[in-house]
Amino acid sequence: MKKLWMILLIPLLSGCWDSHNIEELSLVVGEGIDKSKKNDEIKLTHQILVPPGTSVQENQGQQKYKNITVSAKTLHEAIRDSLLITNTILTNHQRILIINEDVLKDIPMEAIINMFIRDNSIRRSCLVLLTKKPTKEILGNSEADDIPSNVIFELKDNEKRTNKILPPLTLGQASASLQSDGSFAIQAVDIKGGKLILDGAGVIKNSKLVGVMSADDIASLNWLNGTVKGGIIEASHHGDPFSVEVIKRTRRKITTELNGEHLTINISIGYTGRLSEDWYTKENSFKESYFKDAERVTEDKVEQDVEKIIGKLQHDYKTGVAGLYRYVENQHPKFWKKNKKKWDEVFSKADINYHIDIRIIDFGSKGGTK
């Protein structure tokens, strides 16, 4: 009986200031940022998951998500304003952040992602993407009840099969790059034929959007960086097209040389590949010289593409998106310290020598045509 008072204390254990019923939360999976028509306001679109109903009839015709758009001067204010429409916003599970091009033309990217980095619940692993369409359209474009945010999030996994996608850019990486040299490329999404598509990229320089690249440019940029993880190289020999499938990277060596103030960057990359398609009717891959020729042709093709992208980076965008500054910093710390501020200028004037070595190690289950 003496310990009876302990039982009376039990109700105290149930108290929790921070309890929320899960059905009263708005689970955000994606956010989109647009410019508002009203002057200097920002439009924020939340994509919120709608929990499925209990019965079959209920689920039919019901969308799995809803989009809520609000505009305000700052992003956090916009989030709080959305509480006038919906339940408490929970951003712990946010997967993507889509930014409209117009926003980045006026407002520095650093300011745009500032709130997301500061926030205690949004993770730094959330993906950042760019679009030229209003983000409301992108986030509202769904087929067969798919959730657009998830569709986009999963598309980035195809990185291993195609080289026209940039390596995923997370909030954390974006923030880190903005803190260091402030220039990088950011994957873009678009709608084509009613479908969401990863297409092209934006070039960010000093926190502002300075240009856009096509999907082929991305492939070239990936070749330059050695970040290709898969995909196809198209080329032609004897007047007929053929394709080489990338298997894996065997080496990457980047050296930088200084001659006074003049910088030379030597990039040498090695890949293995497979001759995966060949339209030439007199093909004979069993002869070594045949696919050695094919190797040479593909190498030339990649080197040409890369040269083009180097030209674009150096003369159109005048910025070292490629992250090559890291090698300069590591190999010539003193030079880097002195020229950190005018790196874009140094990069534009630098000589970049690119050499790729592709080895075709197999040709599939067919090697000759009679």
Residue 180 or 369: the one with the smaller Cβ distance to another protein is: 180
Nearer to another protein among residue 16 and residue 84 (C-beta): 16
Residues 157-176 that bind another protein (CB under 8 A): 170, 172, 175-176
Q: CB of 213: closest distance to another protein in angstroms?
A: 23
Is residue 333 at the binding interface for another protein, with CB under 8 A as the rule?
Answer: yes
Site string for another protein, 310-329 (x = CB under 8 A): ----------------x--x
* Rounded distance between C-alpha atoms, residue 62 and residue 64, angstroms: 6
Q: Which of 76, 123, 132, 318 binds another protein (CB under 8 A)?
A: 123
One residue of 3, 18, 56, 260 binding another protein per CB under 8 A: 18
Closer to another protein at the Cβ: 28 or 244? 28
Distances (CA, A) of 121 to 80, 327, 364: 15, 34, 48
Which residues partner with 68 through β-bridges?
46
Helix intervals (H) in the chain? 4-13, 56-59, 75-81, 101-106, 109-118, 135-139, 148-155, 171-179, 215-225, 288-311, 325-331, 333-339, 343-349
CB of 179: closest distance to another protein in angstroms? 4
User: For another protein, how many residues bind (rule: CB under 8 A)?
Assistant: 21
Percentages of the chain per state (helix, strand, coil), in multiples of 5: 35, 35, 30
Distance between terminal CA atoms of the chain?
98
By CB under 8 A, name the one of 38, 105, 124, 349 that touches another protein: 124
d(CA 250, CA 321) in angstroms, rounded, equals 23
What tokens does 280 get?
């030439």
Whichever of 62 and 121 has its CB closer to another protein, that residue is: 121
Q: Is the dihedral of CA 322, 328, 329, 335 positive or negative?
A: negative
Number of residues assigned to the chain: 370
Angle, CA of 103, 205 and 118, to the nearest 5°: 60
Q: Which stretch binds another protein (CB under 8 A): 268-276, 330-338, 348-356, 359-367?
A: 330-338
Asked if 76 touches another protein (CB under 8 A), the answer is no
Q: Considering only 120-128, 184-192, 197-205, 348-356, which stretch makes contact with another protein by CB under 8 A?
A: 120-128
Q: In which residue are the tokens 């990486």 written?
A: 173
- Our CB check for another protein shows the closer of 190 and 329 to be 329
Write out the binding residues for another protein, residues 173-212 only, by CB under 8 A: 175-176, 179-180
Site string for another protein, 22-51 (x = CB under 8 A): ------------------------------
Residue 98's DSSP bridge partners are 32, 129
Query: DSSP string of 228-291?
Result: --S-EEEEEETTEEEEEEEEEEEEEEEEEEEETTEEEEEEEEEEEEEEEEE--TT-BTTSHHHH
Stretch that binds another protein, among 117-125, 185-193, 242-250, 273-281 (CB under 8 A): 117-125
Nearest distance, CB of residue 268 and another protein, angstroms: 17
16 contributes a contact to another protein by CB under 8 A: yes
- Binding segment for another protein (CB under 8 A), chosen from 11-19, 52-60, 203-211, 265-273, is 11-19
Among positions 331, 339, 359, 362, the unique one binding another protein when judged by CB under 8 A: 331
Residue 256 near residue 264, CB atoms below 8 Å: yes
Instruction: Kindly tell me which residue out of 255, 330, 353, 369 binds another protein, with binding defined by CB under 8 A.
Output: 330
Question: Helices 171-179 and 109-118 meet at what angle, rounded to 10?
Answer: 130
Q: Give which of 135, 307, 305, 106 is closest to 210, Cα–Cα.
A: 106
Backbone angles phi, psi at 307, to 5 degrees: -60, -40
268 close to 352: Cβ distance less than 8 angstroms? no
The residue (of 220 and 256) whose beta carbon lies closer to another protein is 256
Our CB check for another protein shows the closer of 122 and 233 to be: 122
Binding site for another protein (CB under 8 A): 16-18, 92, 117, 120, 123-125, 170, 172, 175-176, 179-180, 326, 329-331, 333, 337
